[in-house]
Structure 1
Amino acid sequence: MIEDRGHFDGIGLTASGFVPVFGTTSTTQIRRSALAVATAPEPALRSTTASVAWSIALSPLVVMGLLAAAMSVRSEIASGESVGVMIVTAAFFLFFAGPAIIAFAIVALLSRENRRIRRGRPIGYRLWQAAWFCHRCAGCFWVSAPLAGLPAQQLMAPHQFRAMVWRAAGYIGGRPK
């Protein structure tokens, strides 16, 4: 982690003229090496904040669509109109409700993926911590297999190691082993 603090001063121009400006800055950066990325014990969690915000913002459209559909069905029952009005009503509802439904579906999928990652963390970290990296060979290996089905004392490229850890932890292809 790289932290940096600084001080600045200068002159700013405002509507009332020039004014002195003083302040401090603070920045924090996290940099990861290519090796750390290639041998990551778990994928990054995906944020659901934007999708939830869109879902909430688009929710009134669902209500508008439901109201329009209800009024259309009510008028159809009163006047005895054809099935064509029902089709138009359904299309109208999907036009309004579709974006909100899609946003809620995205939230559900992202949440499901995040749950899978959280569920597999203990296994993923256990496998990751038991492994060794050989700088001379630029490969990863386990001295003894920490889990049945994983190769012991077999050198593998970092991306192969990561795939094995992620597959065993259930991040890729289903439940953890």
Structure 2
Amino acid sequence: MGSDEGSEVWRVPLGTLPVTFSYSEALGAGLSEWQLYRLRDQGLIVSVGRGLYRRHSAALVDIDLIELARRAPSGTLCLTTALARHGLTDEIPARIDVALPRGRHRPATTAPVSWHWFDPKTYGIGRTELPVDPETSIGLYGPERSIIDAIRLRHHEGSDLAYAALRRWLRRPEASPSKLLMIAREFPRAERPLREALEILL
């Protein structure tokens, strides 16, 4: 390989691309397919999923969350994954729990994911954003919504997960049972068992 061809790689416009970028974004910025693969082979970029790359010099982050944020921009971390993020369970799920609005297509990912489809009418309730890096964030349900989802889906997720999370949350000074019940009114399958649990625990 000639020196001109090798030096061409160093002049590619990586600086015009986001820290994490897709194959099509790279081509759109002026990179050729050969340049892209040469950058990868030289270790200047790393693959974080099929057709998705990240600069090697970028800060260390959770690559799985980066991929999910790019593949499923409307996705939201939920259930056990969200409860673990909020310190409400010691369980470490083998797969990342991600909710999508019902009817939304499930993307193919390298990251291990358990997909869940939630009602679009209530999908945004309690949804926040979790920054993954300065350019990327992913949806995350807050602690109250995560508890409610665990209770309403307790027959699938296990009642121990739901009620242990509720007990741990109630010990926090910022816990507001009235706020929790107000949110639960939007989820009829959760409101009654939540009220019964609170009557026992409070």
Relative to its length, the structure with more helix (as a share) is: 1
Which structure is higher in RCO with an 8 Å CA cutoff and minimum separation 6? 1
Alignment TM-score, normalising by the size of structure 1: 0.24
Choose 1 or 2 for highest CA Rg: 1
